Amino acid sequence: MANNNPVVKTNEIKEIRTGSSKLSLKVKNRIFQTGVLIWFSLFALVIIYPIIWLGLSGLKSNADFFLNTWRLPEEWLWKNYKAAWDAGIGHFFLNSVFITVVSVVTVLLLGSMAAYGLSRFQFKGQNILLVIILSGLMLAPQVSLIPLYKLLQAIGLYNTYWALILPYVAFQLPFSIFLMRSYFLSIPKELEESAIIDGCNSWKVYRHIIVPMGKPIIASCALLTGMNVWNEFMFALVFVEDSALRTIPVGLMNLRSQLNTNFGIQLAGLAISALPMIIAYIVFQKQFVRGLSAGSVKG
Amino acid sequence: MTKTFRNSRTAILFILPALLFILFFVFLPIVLNLYNSLFRWNSFDAGRVFVGLEYYGRLFKDPIFFTALKNNSLYAVISLVFQVGIGLIIAAVLEDKLIRRFQPFFRTVFFIPSVISIAVVGLLWQLLYNPEVGLVNGVLKTLGQSEWALSWLGDSKIAIYAVVAVSQWQYTGYMVMLFLLAMQKIPFEYYEAAMIDGASKIKTFLYITLPQMKEMILVGTVITVIGAFKVFDEVYVMTNGGPGRSTEVLGTMLYRAAFRNDEMGYASTIGTIIFVVTLTLSLIQLKIGKSGQEV
Amino acid sequence: MRRKINVLLAVLLAFALVLTGCSSSSSSGEESGKVVLKFLHKWPQPEYAPYFEEVVKAFEKENPDIKIKIEAIADEPIKDKLRVILGGNEVPDIMFSWSGEFARKFVRADAALDLTPYLNEDTAWKDSFIPASLQPFTSNEKNYGIPLRFNGKFFVYNKKIFDKYQLQAPTTWDEFIQVLDTLKKGGETPIILGNQSPWAAIHYLTGLNQKMVAQDVRMKDYNPKSGEFTDPGYVKAMEMLADLNKKGYFMKNVNSSSHDMGQQLFAAGKGAIFYVELEEFQTIENNMKGNWGFFPMPSIADGKGSQSFITGAPDGFIVSSKTKHPKEAIKFLKFLTNKDNALKLVKQIGWPSPIDGATNPDTALKEVAEGVDYMKKAEGMAEWLDTDVHAKVADVYLSNIQLLLDGSKSPEEIIKEVQKVAKQVQSEVE
Q: For chain C, list residues whose CB is within 8 angstroms of any CB belonging to chain B.
A: 1, 5, 8, 12, 79-81, 83-84, 86-87, 105-106, 108-111, 195-196, 198, 252-257, 261, 265, 391-392, 395, 399-400, 402-403, 405-406, 408-409, 428
The tally of domains found in chain A comes to: 1
pLDDT tens digits along A276-299: 888 888 887 777 676 666 655 432
pLDDT average, residue stretch B237-261 = 91
Instruction: Please state, in angstroms and rounded to a whole number, the distance separating the CA atoms of residues B106 and C124.
Output: 73
Contact B17 A113 (CB under 8 A): yes
- Interface test with chain A among B84, B103, B120, by most A beta carbons within 10 Å: B120
Largest CA distance in chain B: 77
Q: Which helix (H) or strand (E) holds A285?
A: helix A285-296
Question: What is the ipTM metric for this complex?
Answer: 0.87
3-class DSSP state of B246: coil
Determine whether the interchain pair A293/B289 forms a contact, defined as Cβ–Cβ distance below 8 Å.
no
pLDDT (average), residues B54-77: 94
Say if residue B269's pLDDT is above 70: yes
> Where do runs of H (alpha helix) occur along C223-317?
232-246, 259-267, 281-288
Please give the Cα distance from C75 to A283 (Å, whole number).
Answer: 40
Which residues of chain B are within 8 Å of residue C1 when distances are taken between CB atoms? 7, 10
Residue of A nearest to C82 (CA): A241
Chain B: residue whose CA lies nearest to C110: B45
Provide the shortest C-alpha distance from residue B8 to chain C (in Å): 12
Residues C261, B262: C-beta atoms closer than 8 Å: no
**pLDDT at res. C31:** 52
Q: Which of C186, C192, C214 is nearest to C204 (CA)?
A: C192
- Please state, as a whole number, how many other Cβ atoms lie within 10 Å of the Cβ of residue B47: 12
Residue C304's closest CA among C358, C231, C367, C241? C231
> What's the rounded Cα separation, in Å, for the pair C47 and C65?
29
Mutate to test the interface with C, among A148, A239, A260 (most CBs of C within 10 A): A260
CATH number at residue A223: 1.10.3720.10
Give the span between the Cα atoms of A192 and A188, in whole angstroms.
8
Nearest-angstrom CA–CA distance, B259 and A146: 10
Write the residue in A51, A171, A227 that is nearest to B26 by C-beta: A171
Interface probe, candidates B132, B133, B247, B255, chain C, greatest C C-beta count within 10 A:
B132
Alpha helix stretches (DSSP H) within C114-158 = 116-121, 123-127, 131-134
Quote the CA–CA distance of B32 and A53 in Å, as a whole number.
46
Q: Which residues are bridge partners to C154 per DSSP?
A: C276
Provide the shortest C-alpha distance from residue C6 to chain A (in Å): 11
User: Cα distance from B279 to chain C (closest Cα, Å)?
Assistant: 28
Distance from CA of B106 to the nearest CA of A (A): 7
Chain C interface test: which of A99, A233, A254 (most C C-beta within 10 Å): A254
Amino acid at A179: L
Report all structural domains of chain C as residue ranges with CATH numbers, in order of start: 35-151+314-375 (3.40.190.10), 152-311+383-428 (3.40.190.10)
Residue A262 lies in a domain: yes
- Interatomic CA distance for residues B70 and B229, integer angstroms: 10
- Would you say residue C176 has pLDDT above 90? yes
Q: Are A170 and B21 in contact (CB under 8 A)?
A: yes
Q: Are strands B49-50 and C66-72 parallel, antiparallel or unpaired?
A: unpaired
Please name the CATH architecture into which domain B37-117+165-294 falls.
Orthogonal Bundle (1.10)
Q: For residue C301, which phi and psi values (nearest 5 degrees)?
A: -60, -45
Residue A208: give the domain boundaries: 91-296
Least confident of A255-269, C200-214, C338-352, C356-370: A255-269
3-state secondary structure of A219: helix
Residue A136 included in any domain: yes
Task: Mark the ranges of chain A whose per-residue pLDDT is less than 70.
Answer: 1-23, 260-261, 288, 290-299
Chains that touch A (3 or more CB pairs under 8 A): B, C
Q: Look at residue C39 and tell me whether its pLDDT is greater than 70.
A: yes
Nearest to A66 among C19, C73, C268 (CB): C268
Per-residue pLDDT band at C430 (split at 50, 70, 90): low
Domain borders along chain B are 37-117+165-294
- Taking only Cα atoms into account, the Rg of chain C, rounded to an integer number of angstroms, comes to 24
pLDDT of residue B162: 95
Distance between CA atoms of A71 and A263, rounded to whole angstroms?
16
Mean of pLDDT over chain C: 87
C336, pLDDT greater than 70: yes
- Which 3 state secondary structure label does DSSP give B206? helix
pLDDT value, residue A4: 41
User: Which of B28, B198, B215 has the CB atom closest to A17's CB atom?
Assistant: B198
pLDDT one-digit tens code per residue, A105-158: 999 999 999 999 998 888 888 889 988 888 887 788 999 999 999 999 888 898
The whole-angstrom separation of Cα A109 and Cα C18 is 15
Query: CB-CB: which of C19, C74, C81 is closest to A241?
Result: C81
Q: How far apart, in whole angstroms, are the C-alpha atoms of residue A16 and residue B62? A: 57
